[in-house]
Structure 1
Amino acid sequence: MPFSLVLSILADVCTIPSYPESIRPDRNHIEILQPYLLTHRRRISELSMSALVPFASKHDTHVASFIDSAGNTQYMISGINRRFDGNMEKFAVFPAGYPGREMMVSIMKKVSVISFIPVDDVMEWTRHISRDFPHLAVTEDRDNADYVYRKQDLITLQGPQLHKKLAHALKFEAEHSEHFIVDVADTPQADMISVLDQWAAGKDVVEDYEAVRISLELRKELNLEGIAVYARPGEPVAFTLVEYDGSDRVITHTEKAIPSYKGVYQFLNRALAMSLPPDVVDINREQDLGIPGLRQAKKTYQPYTFVTKYKIELP
């Protein structure tokens, strides 16, 4: 195959098509999209290829480019959110802000909600929406708010509720005297897949199995870090994958453990916090998606703040 043809094929694979055409994001688009997403992230956990690529199939995620009113190339993300109550929600995300009336008119015919509007952009969005679409409103999206915890709180686990979690973590330590922790960079991928397989065993529905597999396969490209826990040599029991959000915060994207090991999740959570460098002060453990059980579980760890996001529900 001529070299020029190879270059042409590679260019086509990596190119983000112009709206209304779109493409599912994969590893070929990391170099193009990741700098853009991180520039506009504003602490929002979803605005990273570490969140988009692994779940692209589950959410039918697509990306398209468009030219804004200033003549700059921008990107739009769209997909489907399958809510825990069974409803399907088609969404669009504009990381760089309000895309203009013409784009909004077009996208309103295709999706039911504009998602992941950061708190810093609410006034701008409200001003444009009030002018162009006075029947719409920018409202808080509680189901997608990210829970943020102080690293030190997850280490000390003080207080009645957190003390119970500390007791579980210490019980795991006591029952597995040979346990040790390994950086995921030094952990065989086969060991983490073994944990993932045992985590999934026996479950009727395992929605994020493939997403976690992709995260493991693309860990280096997606700049995912973290730790793995072994109960003893040759016996991996848990791992977590995190992404740095600046130098002072990490986002926990994946946390998997073999459930038969009592206290392993509490131990993993605390061990991760203890493993982070001094500059990291916060841990973002993402959203609860409106799932009652997950909301209660996240509340028990006592977040000190949230990454509040906003949305526009469309008729």
Structure 2
Amino acid sequence: MMDTQQITLKMKASVDGIRMKCHHTAASHAFATLYIWQEGMGLSIHLEDGMFAVRCRWRGENAWFFPCGEDHLVRRGVEELLLEKDLRLCYLREEDTAFLEREFPGRFQITEKESDHEYLYHRAEQVSLYGSRFSGLRKDIRRVEKLHRVSWEPLCSKNISDALIISRAWHRQTDGPEGLEDMAASERLLLEWDALDVQGVVASVDGEPYAIVAGYPLSPSSFDFSLSKEKSRLSGLSVYTRHALACSLSDAYTQINAEEDLGIEGLRNMKRLMRPDGQIKQYEGRAK
């Protein structure tokens, strides 16, 4: 089996450099995503010049993110992975499925994974919230502003401790293993916020730091919304904080990626409520 190792911060430039060279802008393969989720998803990485592949024990003993890199290296990597039984390739974009069908005809059963689709939004629309499509979001923001004294400030060294307190308070109310996995990812994101190029906003309600929304760049023009937590659920506050983060970003970011919904109804409803403009469709390939 392909050798892997722990994902460390020193790999960031190499991993994201390979992604950019290959024009791979999905959140699934971003270094920050892999780094923060390595504990919750059982991730380890094979990294070489021009290619990386990520093993994902959460999806199976021989489950891997589709390799990212130069075509000939990806082809060689898939050939090596096929030497082990029950190979499962995850997070394939449409161009990745085309690669498998071209290079390995008849070797894989490919299925669409709706729960892995990544939601995309025009940042300008998320800032302006103009038109009838966004009337519900505007009402949510007006409601929370009417009922409470709300404000926000950019995530920085002075309020990172507040962000951690908010995240931990949210997780104390979350039951089940999904919450525990998400907690580890949230902790890594906030503790290493500077090294991971994280940007975010901390929102206060009636003078108390109460909510955090944060993410990281996927490309020079695309930004990932990765983290959204509140001390306790407050109607309209998540809409307010997501809008604040969209407003705070540089105009260089024209697209927002809100990641997948994992098949969880609440997440799906929230992401659809934001009025997506499109999706990065994701697929899975199982060796026959």
Partner of residue 219 from structure 1, selected from 184, 189, 193: 193
8 Å Cα contact 1:242/1:252 also seen in 2: yes
Superposed displacement of residue 227, structure 1: 1.3
What residue is the counterpart of 1:14 in the other structure?
none
Change (3 A) 1:112 1:299: farther
Give the TM-score taking structure 2 as reference length: 0.86
The residue correspondences of 1:153-232 to structure 2 (distance < 5 A) are: 153-158=125-130, 162-177=134-149, 179-205=150-176, 206=179, 207-232=181-206
8 Å Cα contact 1:30/1:49 also seen in 2: yes
Larger Rg over CA atoms: 1
Partner of residue 145 from structure 1, selected from 112, 117, 121: 117
Separation in structure 1 between the aligned mates of residue 13 and residue 25 of structure 2, nearest angstrom: 20
SS of the equivalent of 1:255 reads: strand
The residue correspondences of 1:74-113 to structure 2 (distance < 5 A) are: 74-81=51-58, 90-96=63-69, 97=71, 99-100=74-75, 103-104=78-79, 106-107=81-82, 109=84, 112-113=87-88
1:119 aligns with 2:101: no
Change (3 A) 1:125 1:260: closer
More off after superposition, 154-163 vs 237-246: 154-163
Change (3 A) 1:299 1:171: same
8 Å Cα contact 2:159/2:202 also seen in 1: no
After superposition, the C-alpha distances for 1:102-155 in whole angstroms (9 at most, x for unaligned) are 74354462554212333344433321011xxx2424443322111011223323
- The one-letter code sitting in structure 2 at the alignment partner of 1:37 is R
What residue is the counterpart of 1:26 in the other structure?
8
What residue is the counterpart of 2:279 in the other structure?
306
Partner of residue 21 from structure 2, selected from 36, 39, 55: 39
Partner of residue 50 from structure 1, selected from 3, 28, 32: 32
8 Å Cα contact 2:223/2:255 also seen in 1: yes
- The one-letter code sitting in structure 2 at the alignment partner of 1:127 is R
- The one-letter code sitting in structure 1 at the alignment partner of 2:186 is V
8 Å Cα contact 1:187/1:228 also seen in 2: no
More off after superposition, 278-287 vs 49-58: 278-287
Change (3 A) 1:263 1:293: closer
SS of the equivalent of 1:46 reads: helix
Superposed displacement of residue 55, structure 1: 0.8
SS of the equivalent of 1:81 reads: coil
Separation in structure 2 between the aligned mates of residue 143 and residue 108 of structure 1, nearest angstrom: 28
Separation in structure 1 between the aligned mates of residue 26 and residue 221 of structure 2, nearest angstrom: 14
Superposed displacement of residue 56, structure 1: 0.3
Superposed displacement of residue 306, structure 1: 0.9
SS of the equivalent of 1:245 reads: strand
- The one-letter code sitting in structure 2 at the alignment partner of 1:193 is L
Unaligned runs of 5+ in 2: none
Separation in structure 2 between the aligned mates of residue 115 and residue 310 of structure 1, nearest angstrom: 7
Separation in structure 2 between the aligned mates of residue 55 and residue 102 of structure 1, nearest angstrom: 23
What residue is the counterpart of 1:261 in the other structure?
234
What residue is the counterpart of 2:218 in the other structure?
245
After superposition, the C-alpha distances for 1:184-211 in whole angstroms (9 at most, x for unaligned) are 1254221001111221223222231111
Superposed displacement of residue 58, structure 1: 0.9
Separation in structure 2 between the aligned mates of residue 311 and residue 165 of structure 1, nearest angstrom: 34
Separation in structure 1 between the aligned mates of residue 61 and residue 44 of structure 2, nearest angstrom: 16
Separation in structure 1 between the aligned mates of residue 248 and residue 183 of structure 2, nearest angstrom: 26
Superposed displacement of residue 303, structure 1: 0.8
Separation in structure 2 between the aligned mates of residue 121 and residue 102 of structure 1, nearest angstrom: 13
More off after superposition, 185-194 vs 159-168: 159-168
Separation in structure 2 between the aligned mates of residue 158 and residue 142 of structure 1, nearest angstrom: 29
Unaligned runs of 5+ in 1: 1-18, 67-71
More off after superposition, 146-155 vs 191-200: 146-155
Q: Which structure's residues are more often helix, by fraction?
A: 2
Change (3 A) 1:101 1:49: closer
8 Å Cα contact 1:52/1:61 also seen in 2: yes
What residue is the counterpart of 1:6 in the other structure?
none
Separation in structure 1 between the aligned mates of residue 77 and residue 63 of structure 2, nearest angstrom: 19
Identity fraction in percent: 16
- The one-letter code sitting in structure 1 at the alignment partner of 2:170 is W
Separation in structure 2 between the aligned mates of residue 296 and residue 88 of structure 1, nearest angstrom: 32
Superposed displacement of residue 232, structure 1: 4.3
